[in-house]
Structure 1
Amino acid sequence: MNIEGCPAPQNITLVQRLQSLVGRTVTVFQPGFPQLTQTTGKLANVTASSFTVGSTVVVIQTSFFIVLKERVRTTKPFDVTATAEDIGELHGKLIRVGRGFIEFVQMPGRIVPTLFPLNIFTSVVCEREHEE
């Protein structure tokens, strides 16, 4: 896993971040064939190794990302490019880097946070926004 140019991670783990979302409605995307599967439901049962969205159990050590249903409050002045083998390249504005995850708003697109575990990315590159 290669992280370049991003600010230092905040002292919050992926599991802690997920625990703070228990009871909220989220959409989890999991790579699969022939396409990404998408499950929307309430986040529950967060443990060190898995969590549940609706009736789907997601193992933390697998590929997934979560789109939250809340508008983002603040982003940091960094553009993010995150690349994962089975998802491809995603672009966005950085919200935070945590321990084992990165949170950003996908661009172009909705202004809701996307939570990505760092285990699925081959590289994450942050670039400071260029001042106009």
Structure 2
Amino acid sequence: MSDIDIQGCPAPQNITLVQRLQPIAGSTVTVFQPGFPQLTKTTGKLSNVTSSSFTVGSTAVDFQTSFFIVLNERVKATKPFDLTATAEDIGELRGKLIRVGKDFVEFIKIPGKEVPTLFPLNLFTEVICEREHDE
């Protein structure tokens, strides 16, 4: 776990990205991966969730690569943390924290729709949380 760069976030919940994805297999999700000149966006049914990869439509995604997933479900609650997630070849995403898992963070992208974004914690990514400030 020492290669995961995460700062200022609350303690992780005892859930992995695989455990988060398995119950929603069969649902439609969108995965974003590095591409040129812009991100590659694949929308399709989530399937084949294994310990090392998952499939969206006909695209297989390895957990140890740079990607993020946008779910097609409503967010129930967020934590009082602003989050900045950075991934190699993807750039910076900002949002409101939903939860920290063992190997991923879940948040609402700002600006964006009120749907969860799942962002892996691996050697391609960095996450920084800051407690919301009262304005």
Q: Which residue of 1 aligns with 2:52?
A: 49
- Identical positions, percent: 76
Q: Which residue of 1 aligns with 2:27?
A: 24
Question: What residue ranges of structure 1 are gaps of 5+ in the alignment?
Answer: none
**Structure-2 separation of matches of 1:85 and 1:49:** 19
Q: Which residue of 1 aligns with 2:98?
A: 95
**Structure-2 separation of matches of 1:26 and 1:97:** 20
**Structure-1 separation of matches of 2:120 and 2:6:** 13
**Structure-2 separation of matches of 1:114 and 1:29:** 10
Q: Superposed, which structure 2 residues align to 1:107-118 within 5 Å?
A: 107-118=110-121
Q: Which residue of 1 aligns with 2:109?
A: 106
State the Cα distance separating 1:17 from its structure 2 match: 0.8
The runs of at least 4 consecutive aligned structure 1 residues that moved more than 4 Å come to: none
Q: Which residue of 1 aligns with 2:62?
A: 59
State the Cα distance separating 1:88 from its structure 2 match: 1.1
Q: Which residue of 2 aligns with 1:34?
A: 37
Question: What residue ranges of structure 2 are gaps of 5+ in the alignment?
Answer: none
Q: Which residue of 1 aligns with 2:85?
A: 82
Length-normalised TM-score, structure 1: 0.94
The alignment covers a number of residue pairs equal to 131
**Structure-2 separation of matches of 1:16 and 1:41:** 19
State the Cα distance separating 1:2 from its structure 2 match: 2.3
Deviations 1:53-110 (A, max 9, x none): 1111111111111000111110001000112221111100000000110010000111
Q: CA RMSD in A?
A: 1.1
